[in-house]
Structure 1
């Protein structure tokens, strides 16, 4: 049964979806729970142009109220255009993409409405209602009719949608509504947790998550809640490329979410010639020209470079200039001699990671792509670490021969998000 829309567009739903950013993924487990509030993903869609076209088809359905069959026609056109080989049958895959995006954006829009302080004064309670699923989940049926204050912690994990295909809903009630319908407020249903294994067939491997019984992994959150004004922001500002330090540890991501330890260690450092280190004391123009030349670019002629995943990075003089003054700042961080190693990291990375970061200065989320490589440079006792990161808000890079940079705990600080590529992997 496809989702139907009313005659008027649901503004909060549309705004929620449009404010997402496209995030490439290889499996549905790459993005989890509240990360969906900021990211638009389609499992296995790792190319930016493909993802943008899929997003357009979904947005058309949300904003225009198109049916599942109309979405399937748009989906077929996108697949044919990009030659995308997706997993699963067409009927199942299109239904999952269509219904999950429409329902969760609708639920997020409702959460935004329920957050209105004046409305909450008049309607302070939430009512859980089971949907009309053909094969209802026993726990969802048991929760039907549950009434709790909207600020009860139970809603943080049990606000619909609570699983694949779940059609349950949450409604606001006043005290008068509660009395008229013969309902009672509380207590919250007991919450039992269970360990579930996900990602068995994921390129990044399986992992165990703890979820409330009756809720599918990945749905144990309130859609859109992380965006609301009552959400608590992380305490620290994000430093995208932390400098290595002895015994550095990594326990949280930039978004304040638990860091999933990356599977396996980085590949062993690759040998590099001594001349990959540039001479000291060269003019900034020379350092810049040597870096640009690695990609076929020049000072006045930018070049489009396609990385190992097929994504495009524009290489040009602007990478090294001050946006306001136009002055060169090649040697600003003191790593000008190692610029060719930075180029090597972009051209032939050990790993490529992509993730979503909220930039408070910009008031929006951005997608960052990080290229990591290590090199054993001829004549150097310690392997070099080179990291190039690029996003819609600019780029950053580090190169270092510091011994601490090869500390596994420090390296794990850099290996965050979704790994799209690993040197030597069968699908690399």
Structure 2
């Protein structure tokens, strides 16, 4: 049996597994759903050295694509070394340990690939395909062929694997694929929820969880999605950008040259008037539209690769107040001008990098600044858009400025990574 779950191991799968931390547990119910995106656990393995060696055996199988029988030999060596008295018989236990880690790392890696916005433009749909389980689950069979947009909420709870030993998969499809395979898009199957008791053998005692029927407890999530959400930059507490309508004050940079010979800015490029949203558009609606430009939704972030090849995870969390959970725009942003911020990220005129001292962290933070200079149809003054992002969060500014070149010139700090050609 190949341990690569239907294909050779791939970078996103291996990276997902390697980024986990070892976590001793007494029962499989000690951690739940998205916790598995971050933790490697083997139920009952509470000694760190034992857990580390078990992890090494699993990682070897994932990275090298070895077989279950080869994993069992490594497992036997680890057990012999540590004298671990595990529950269950050897064949069943080794199969659960390897297959669960193998399949969920594979699924998380595929989810990371499917988050690519360019790929999602070409293949915006997902289809649920039943696996070749010896004992098919009726509901999983019923879901076979379900075809939905990848941003449909149904996938948040029904992305495979959907249970212990589940071999179902989710595949991306283009509109042509859907037609060629004779599939129908939607509607999503109705979700019926039920209460299940887990952790009967846990030292923490049993507890009740609510899961969709047909999904084993602990599998009602999309593998790897929580990592994407946690990678979305948060709004900075302090907003250092000058207001576009005011005379800017240059922000000093530390560690990189504050100035390099800049040369002239690219001339403002034309943008249609309809690029702006209605004057009284609600912030929540503007944010939803902004996310859509990157293949993200209110429920699911997406990975965007900029013109230099650097990646940015775009999601609703960028605009969410951490305390209230409500939409909160940066001080220098207007809801109707969020499409201009998207222009700065997607098609910038320039990208700059600099080190900026962060007093709260006691260290310098590398920041990237995206600048856009546009002429909106029907507007006398040019518009500017700035997206500034680093490990400590992001901020942005948009607005119409008579002396737009002076405003942007003050923000051209550090080292220029990219400039749009005229």
Which category of TM-score, normalised to the shorter sequence, fits these structures? 0.5 to 0.7
What's 1:88 paired with?
A: 88
What's 2:314 paired with?
A: none
C-alpha distance in 2 between matches for 1:3 and 1:33? 23
Superimposed CA distance per residue, residues 42-97 of structure 1 (whole angstroms, 9 cap, x where no aligned partner): 11111111111000000000000110000000001111111111111111100000
Question: Contact between 2:5 and 2:106, CA under 8 Å: does it hold in 1?
Answer: no
Q: Structure 2-normalised TM-score?
A: 0.55
Describe the SS at the equivalent of 1:97: helix
C-alpha distance in 1 between matches for 2:44 and 2:113? 33
What's 1:71 paired with?
A: 71
C-alpha distance in 2 between matches for 1:155 and 1:234? 25
Cα 1:222/1:180, change in 2 over 3 Å: same
Cα 1:210/1:6, change in 2 over 3 Å: closer
User: What is the CA distance between 1:154 and its match in structure 2?
Assistant: 0.2
CA-atom RMSD, angstroms? 2.5
Describe the SS at the equivalent of 2:190: coil
User: What is the CA distance between 1:114 and its match in structure 2?
Assistant: 0.2
C-alpha distance in 1 between matches for 2:231 and 2:138? 32
Question: Contact between 1:130 and 1:168, CA under 8 Å: does it hold in 2?
Answer: yes
What is the count of residue pairs matched by the alignment? 243
Describe the SS at the equivalent of 2:35: helix
C-alpha distance in 2 between matches for 1:110 and 1:5? 12
User: What is the CA distance between 1:9 and its match in structure 2?
Assistant: 3.5
1:58 paired with 2:58, answer yes
Question: Contact between 1:198 and 1:209, CA under 8 Å: does it hold in 2?
Answer: yes
Superimposed CA distance per residue, residues 274-316 of structure 1 (whole angstroms, 9 cap, x where no aligned partner): xxxxxxxxxxxxxxxxxxxxxxxxxxxxxxxxxxxxxxxxxxx
What's 2:261 paired with?
A: none
1:224 paired with 2:224, answer yes
What's 1:44 paired with?
A: 44
C-alpha distance in 2 between matches for 1:205 and 1:183? 45
User: What is the CA distance between 1:231 and its match in structure 2?
Assistant: 6.5
Question: Contact between 2:129 and 2:169, CA under 8 Å: does it hold in 1?
Answer: yes
C-alpha distance in 2 between matches for 1:92 and 1:232? 39
Superimposed CA distance per residue, residues 134-155 of structure 1 (whole angstroms, 9 cap, x where no aligned partner): 1000000000000000000000
What's 2:117 paired with?
A: 117
C-alpha distance in 2 between matches for 1:180 and 1:187? 19
Question: Contact between 1:128 and 1:168, CA under 8 Å: does it hold in 2?
Answer: yes
C-alpha distance in 2 between matches for 1:8 and 1:159? 21
Describe the SS at the equivalent of 1:228: helix
Question: 5+ residue gaps in structure 1?
Answer: 238-255, 257-323, 325-359, 362-428
Counterparts of residues 194-209 of structure 1 (less than 5 Å): 194-209=194-209
C-alpha distance in 2 between matches for 1:196 and 1:234? 35
Question: 5+ residue gaps in structure 2?
Answer: 238-321, 323-361, 363-390, 393-422
C-alpha distance in 1 between matches for 2:131 and 2:154? 19
Superimposed CA distance per residue, residues 199-257 of structure 1 (whole angstroms, 9 cap, x where no aligned partner): 111111000000000000000000001112587689999xxxxxxxxxxxxxxxxxx9x
1:10 paired with 2:15, answer no
What's 1:104 paired with?
A: 104
Superimposed CA distance per residue, residues 350-396 of structure 1 (whole angstroms, 9 cap, x where no aligned partner): xxxxxxxxxx87xxxxxxxxxxxxxxxxxxxxxxxxxxxxxxxxxxx
What's 1:171 paired with?
A: 171
Q: Structure 1-normalised TM-score?
A: 0.54
C-alpha distance in 1 between matches for 2:6 and 2:172? 19
C-alpha distance in 1 between matches for 2:235 and 2:47? 33
